[in-house]
Amino acid sequence: MSRTTRRVPLVNLSHYRSGTPEERARFVRVFGEALKEFGFVSVEGHGIDDGLIRRTYSDVASFFGLPEQVKQRYHLAGVGGQRGYTPFGKEHAKNRTVGDLKEFWHVGRDLPEGHPRRPKSGAQNVWPEEVPGFRTNTLALYSALDEAAAVMLQAVAEYFGIARNTFSDMARDGTSTLRVIHYPPLKEKFVPGAVRAAEHEDINLITLLCEGTASGLEILTRDGEWIPVDTLRGQIVVDSGDMLSRITNGVIPATTHRVVNPPSLAEDNTRYSMPFFVHPYPDCMLEALPSTVTPEKPAPAPISADDFLQQRLRDIGMYK
């Protein structure tokens, strides 16, 4: 496939939810093969309301337009950025020291005290009182993405020929996070040697990325080629993270990706995006599927999802 025509495959989630047996089988095959080849796949027919996405982006823009001292009120100490506001340049890619050219907000799953799957950090959501609709819209989007992710994880399990709920059960009551990101124009904020999001792999099982407000996302293919991936209106881009790669013993990769800086002054605009990081519950053990283990490719040592997450949060500068 040529450099100019190579594209991440597109599937329709409604074919899996309510299609014919042939449509369901094709979805499982194409979805699984796309993750296996690219670590990325585009999804339409996902059922996420377009109006909800638009309203959430409007609230996100309102929040990030607030004065710096106001935003800083919502920066929580001691939780590794797992809730609330993370300031510009705080996070960096693994093995880098220069911070990314972004600021963001995290919305997570609030479980009651005493719940067996409540994170050890005890972090709970906070809400910006200056943006009245922020809580309602982000929680509604979180719920919709959470449900869609469970369905996609069921399809991944079917691709591997294992119990359909294997991966979706891992994510039930998991520490999944909706991140809303603001990339300001470079003419406003720039750090030499920094990019909007340096090349990295996601930590989690899968990520659902609602369409961004500007281009810039690129993935690194297995043959070392960077190709752009545009999240078009009505589509969600799904990518596989380190945890799913670990469970599948590398059969599904955690693909390296990045958000590049605008290539020209004419394109130096504000960019917003909203990835939903799907995480297992904290005590879930990340163990390789037996079918993926061979003498040539032994399984990595088991580790709990929370231990793995905390290790990676330290790697990217969220804990000091």
Q: What is the pLDDT of residue 2?
A: 38
Provide the Cα torsion 51, 202, 257, 124; round to 10°. 40
Task: Tell whether the model's pLDDT for residue 320 goes beyond 70.
Answer: no
Average pLDDT over residues 126-139: 97
**Which candidate, 32, 43, 38, places its Cα nearest to that of 10?**
43
| Percent of the chain clearing pLDDT 90 (strictly above) | 77
Report how far residue 106's alpha carbon sits from residue 298's, in angstroms, rounded to the nearest whole number: 36
Lookup: tokens for 143: 């719920």
Task: Tell whether the model's pLDDT for residue 223 goes beyond 50.
Answer: yes
Q: What is the pLDDT of residue 232?
A: 83
Lookup: tokens for 283: 């005590």
Q: Is the separation of the CB atoms in 237 and 231 below 8 Å?
A: yes
How far are the Cα atoms of 27, 88, 100 from residue 134, in angstroms, in the given order?
34, 20, 24
86 pairs with which residues across the strands? 104
Considering all CA atoms of the chain, what is the largest pairwise distance in Å, rounded to the nearest integer?
Answer: 57
Q: What is the pLDDT of residue 121?
A: 74
Task: Tell whether the model's pLDDT for residue 6 goes beyond 70.
Answer: no
Query: What letter represents residue 149's amino acid?
Result: A
Average pLDDT over residues 153-177: 97
Q: What is the pLDDT of residue 140?
A: 98
Q: Give pLDDT tens digits for 227-286.
A: 999 878 899 999 999 999 999 999 999 999 999 999 888 889 999 999 999 999 999 999
Average pLDDT over residues 161-178: 97
Q: Is the separation of the CB atoms in 251 and 291 below 8 Å?
A: no
Task: Tell whether the model's pLDDT for residue 17 goes beyond 90.
Answer: yes
Average pLDDT over residues 23-50: 97
Report how far residue 261's alpha carbon sits from residue 130's, in angstroms, rounded to the nearest whole number: 30
Residue 192: pLDDT band (50, 70, 90) is: confident
pTM of this structure: 0.94
Report how far residue 148's alpha carbon sits from residue 137's, in angstroms, rounded to the nearest whole number: 17
Pairing label, strands 226-228, 236-240: unpaired
H/E run at residue 104? strand 103-108
Q: How many CB atoms lie within 10 A of CB 258?
A: 19
Task: Tell whether the model's pLDDT for residue 4 goes beyond 60.
Answer: no
Task: Tell whether the model's pLDDT for residue 82 goes beyond 70.
Answer: yes
Could you give the count of Cα atoms lying within 13 Å of 160 in the half-sphere of its Cβ? 26
Instruction: Share the mean pLDDT of the chain.
Output: 92
CB environment 121-136: b (16+ within 10 A), e (fewer): bebbbbbbeebeebbe
